[in-house]
Amino acid sequence: MYADVIIDISVAALDRTFQYRIPDLLRDSVEIGTPVMIPFGASDKLRKGYVVGIGEEPKFEPGRTKDIARIAERELTIEDTMVGLAYWIRKQYGGTFYDALRTVLPVRKKVQKQPKRIIRRRASEDDIRTAYQEAVAKKHKAKARLLEPLCTQDFIPYEIASGKMNITKATIDFYVGAGLLEVSNTTGEFFGGDGLNIVLNEEQQNAADTVLQRRGEGKPFLLFGITGSGKTEVYIKILEQVLAEGKQAIVLIPEIALTYQTLLRFYRCFGDRVGYVHSKMALSERYLMCEKARNGEISVMIGPRSALFTPFQNLGLIVIDEEQELSYHSETTPKYYADEVARKRAKDCSAALVLGSATPSVKSFRRTETGEYILLSLTKRAKDGAELPKAAIVDMRAELESGNRSIFSRKLRQAITECLQEHRQAMLFLNRRGFSGFLSCRSCGEVIKCPHCDVSMTVHRSGNMQCHYCGHTAPMPKVCPSCGSKYIAAFGTGTQKIEELVKKEFPNARVMRMDADTTKGKDGYETILTAFAEGKADILVGTQMIVKGHDFGNVTLVGVLAADLSLGVPEYSAAERTFHLLAQAAGRAGRDRFPGQVVIQTYRPDHYALLAAAAQDYRMFYKQEIRYRKLAQYPPCACMLRVLGLSKEEEALTAKMKELAEAVRGENVSVLGPAPDGMRYAMDMFRTVLYVKAAGKETLLGVRDRLEQMVPEGITLQFEFSE
């Protein structure tokens, strides 16, 4: 037996493996992921490496292949920790060990280390404030944006100003020239961070204290706090203590909620000990951040799910804000769940794990009931301000009966009209995910589909059509491939269509649209949201992106156009998704001084997910939902394994999947299916699914291992767990 060993732990070096022979004595103990000591180079000096592959065949003359010397100790080094995590991820979520390693390791890129720069006040606070007010009065938006945080703090990091805040060098230079600000380098020492000058209220203090006192128990905490209850301040309080102990922390925030306001809050408390990553960052910058984490230059990493793999040596805390967000589930192999990986990482290094949400996932909330998680509640808003508005539910069937065929109910139309008259802003939300224009024939109704996948092609501005699933592109046909008619046209559905209708109905309103199409560029959504916040439009139309974590002081109306769309999805979690989206959408209105209004249009006005969201009542939703999950034995009341079978031959696939279903069906295991997947074929492969349910995950891991042994030729199986 032979093992492929990597010595250098970095993605760039993953393909450079060295083959060693596995001595007979070690056969049973060497597996993928095992740390080993190997003689290396001419001097045969022993070095530590990791086994990434095992095979029967020697790649060189057998005589020239050296033996593995021994199995190395697992140490507490960050390399061992990360390789161990990759090993665990592969076990849990499948895929290859390389996939798992690529997920946990940063891509190594040569980078020039830039000195860290900050923008600092040179003039007095009063002078800055005066300049700020002047900029606001003159409607110099970028200048105002730059000065606003500097009214209350001494500095902001240059990289945030030029990056997330989108402020040009010219703007910064203007104030440097005027003697108000200066740009300076900071090297070496930590600086900044004047700490927390907010006094926590009793609930917040309690929550922070509980985490600090009980973190030794090894249980995750769920911080369940209504919108505006001050969860971030609680995280910050806990962070202060963890940092004071010389440990580090990771704070996960969904990408879209990772605004510069959020970042500045952390910088304000912790100065340049804070680092951040986001998905549009250059790989070299990302790598630099990882290096800083590794060598101790930063102690807090803020970012989306990938920040979980920050190589901190002495991790003391992981926070996952908005823990119910789907973006914490990886969409590429290995399809890991950030909360589960975080739990594993926290456990391994005895760090505390804090999940926070105003509307927790059913899974996490249930765990507070079973005692696996510790529940912390914040029930009051931290700042005096408008209470969250109660939403009105409009029955669209009744609208139709009384002769209103428009997409706007009378109530919503009235509300928009008033909102515009008062010069406030409105958000109209369509809870449908990335739906862009497709091509169809007006004569025969044929929809142009991808030749390789069971999905329609979408139309691009370039004039080409593209398959969003496999990337296949083709020029737009001139005539219908089915009937030859030349009346073939792109249908802008979803948001684009709504935008048109809004413009028609309210010709004087300035309308902006935010969806997958309008946010493709580097700072796509940031630009649109900033423009909307600065009042450049009266109405923002968009998909679920518009409802996540942004504060617009002037928004007083939120309209949900068709609340049922996400209820119709054939998944057991459809009601939960709908509830989260609607509750978040409703939370957008009247955040500031002005009272808000929320209108939810629906064809199912008595569905509990809608009623609970309208009432902003999480527990009411949870009570109903968990009853249904128990009855139907869906997660979190049972564990479920989704088995997706892929094959070029549909009939053979169905037959084989039936066999597999029979083979695993048993006393403790129930099996649903096989049935064709929602997408019947993709990338020229037919797709069939099985659902396997059992009480515990261990049972299902066993089922998966057995299925993996049985995979028939010509069929690929993909597995996905939910618990």
- DSSP designation for 390: P
Preceding amide of 62 cis, omega within 30: no
675 within 8 A of 654, measured Cβ to Cβ: no
User: What is the closest distance, in whole angstroms, from the C-beta atom of residue 476 to Zn ion in the complex?
Assistant: 14
**Binding partner of residue 204 among ligand ADP, Zn ion, none, CB cut-off 5 to 8 Å per kind:** ligand ADP
Tell me how far, at minimum, the Cβ of 688 lies from Zn ion, in Å: 18
- Residue 470 interacting partner from Zn ion, ligand ADP, none (CB closer than 5 to 8 Å by kind): Zn ion
Residue with tokens 């006192």: 213
Among 201, 443, 466, 527, binds ligand ADP (CB under 6 A): 201
Round to whole Å and give the CA distance between 351 and 244.
14
Angle at 297 between CA 295 and CA 301, to 5 degrees: 100
Residue 655 CA to residue 648 CA, distance in Å, equals: 13
Q: Which stretch binds ligand ADP (CB under 6 A): 119-127, 197-205, 282-290, 631-639?
A: 197-205
Minimum CB separation of residue 127 from ligand ADP in Å reads: 25
The string of DSSP letters for 451-466 reads SSSSSB-EE-TTSEEE
Q: Which stretch binds ligand ADP (CB under 6 A): 81-89, 133-141, 176-184, 200-208?
A: 200-208
- Binder of ligand ADP out of 196, 198, 476, 620 (CB under 6 A): 198
Between 296 and 445, name the residue whose CB sits nearer to Zn ion.
445
Pairing of strands 300-303, 315-321: unpaired
Site for Zn ion in 429-458 (CB under 5 A): 441, 443-444, 446, 450, 452-453
Give the residue with the Cβ less far from Zn ion, 469 or 572: 469
List 165, 274, 480, 643, residue binding Zn ion (CB under 5 A): 480
Tell me whether residue 427 or residue 717 sits nearer to ligand ADP (CB atom).
427
Identify which of 545, 549, 525, 561 has the alpha carbon closest to the alpha carbon of residue 430.
561
Neighbours of 480 (CB within 10 A): 20
227 binds ligand ADP, rule: CB under 6 A:
yes
Nearer to Zn ion, 13 or 489 (CB): 489
Kindly give, in sequence order, each residue whose CB lies less than 8 Å from that of residue 340, ignoring residues fewer than 6 positions away: 92
Could you give phi then psi for residue 177, rounded to 5 degrees?
-60, -35
Name the DSSP class of 386: P
233 binds, among Zn ion, ligand ADP, none (CB under 5 to 8 A by kind): ligand ADP
Bond into 674 cis (ω within 30)? yes
Region 343-382 residues binding ligand ADP, contact defined as CB under 6 A: 382
Contact indicator for 324, 584 with CB cutoff of 8 Å: no
Report how many residues bind ligand ADP under the rule CB under 6 A: 15
Which of the stretches 159-167, 194-202, 516-524, 702-710 binds ligand ADP when contact is defined by CB under 6 A?
A: 194-202
| Minimum gap (Å) between residue 198 Cβ and ligand ADP | 5
Find the binder of ligand ADP among 84, 149, 220, 228 (CB under 6 A): 228
- Chain centre to alpha carbon of residue 282: 18
The one of ligand ADP, Zn ion, none whose footprint includes residue 198, by CB under 5 to 8 A per kind, is ligand ADP
Q: How far is CA 290 from CA 106, 195, 350, in A?
A: 7, 25, 21
Among 98, 190, 191, 469, binds Zn ion (CB under 5 A): 469
The CA-atom distances, in angstroms, between 514 and each of 315, 390, 481, 494, 577 are: 38, 25, 33, 11, 20
Binding to ligand ADP (CB under 6 A): which residues in 230-249?
Answer: 230-233
- Which CB, 281 or 683, lies closer to Zn ion? 683
Q: Quick one: what does residue 441 bind among ligand ADP, Zn ion, none, with the CB cut-off 5 to 8 Å set by partner type?
A: Zn ion
How would DSSP label each residue in 437-450? -EEEETTT-PBPB-
489 touches Zn ion by CB under 5 A: no
Burial class (CB in 10 A: 0-12, 13-18, 19+), 620: middle
Contacting positions for ligand ADP (CB under 6 A)? 198-201, 204, 225, 227-233, 382-383
Contacting positions for Zn ion (CB under 5 A)? 441, 443-444, 446, 450, 452-453, 467, 469-470, 472, 480, 482-483, 485
